[in-house]
Structure 1
Amino acid sequence: MADKSDLAEVIKNIQADVTTIVKGEIELAKAELVPQAKAAGVGAGLFGAAAYVALSGAALLFSGLAFWLSVGFQAWFHLDLLPALAWGFAVMAVLFFVAAGVLALIGKSRLTFSPPEATVANAEASVAAVKSAVAKGKADVDALSLTGRRPEPELEAASPWSRPGSSS
């Protein structure tokens, strides 16, 4: 009966150790990834704010420039008012798209991530430690007798013809 409780205790210890290792790995991953997530959030927020402000200002500026170009198209190409307005606003729309593309490229370059190297290295070390512990445990189990009890050191060293406690 004592052997079954010993085995149950070993299994409980293994479960507790694995739980501790997994919790430690999760905490390490959190500690490594949270600052990156915060930086990405701030970068994305700033990117969004910059885009909104730039588009609002650009809308006002480009509207004024579109009207100014429309007056120019009327004078330079002798267009009526409606075609001149269409060309003026089309030119400004193209400039809008170019500015949006530049802002998007700048924002994309700011959103770079690196893998959690310390977490991966620690996880690999933990796996190696668990593998070596399993190999040691297997070797210990292989060393057990058929009854599941560890051989007693004094009986192993004694001669098979002598009894413990008797003098030879």
Structure 2
Amino acid sequence: MTSTQSTPDRNDARPSIGELVSTLSEKLSQLIRDEIRLAKAEMTEKAKHAAIGGGLFAGAAFLGFFAFATLIATAVLGLANAVPAWLAALIVTVILLVVAGVMVAVGKRSLDQGSPPMPERAQASIKADVEALKEGLTS
């Protein structure tokens, strides 16, 4: 009884470098596609939650507006117990206009501080860097 024992060829047992690179490229491409697919699914889920949250905030703001209007009406009715109703409404209106005017003034000052919306310090820094590079190249 003789058995023929064949030794596997080294080239048959191990893939070549080209095959390894090809396999690595395919696996890397698949991994990237899977990661992109996962990121898309995650972003879709987050966007859905953000949309629901935004809608709920909008609904709360809508109801809050009417609650504030009712509070103003309550102030007019309460003041109408001390003065005529037309005078109570006028007093509350003037107070609201004064508060609105103060808010406009403070808001305008805040907007003026933010104008222009250009990053002036960053622009100056970039210009200084460009000048330094120009000087370095010409030296």
- TM-score normalised per structure 2: 0.42
Bigger RCO of structures 1 and 2 (CA < 8 A, at least 6 apart): 1
Q: Which structure would you say has the larger Rg?
A: 1
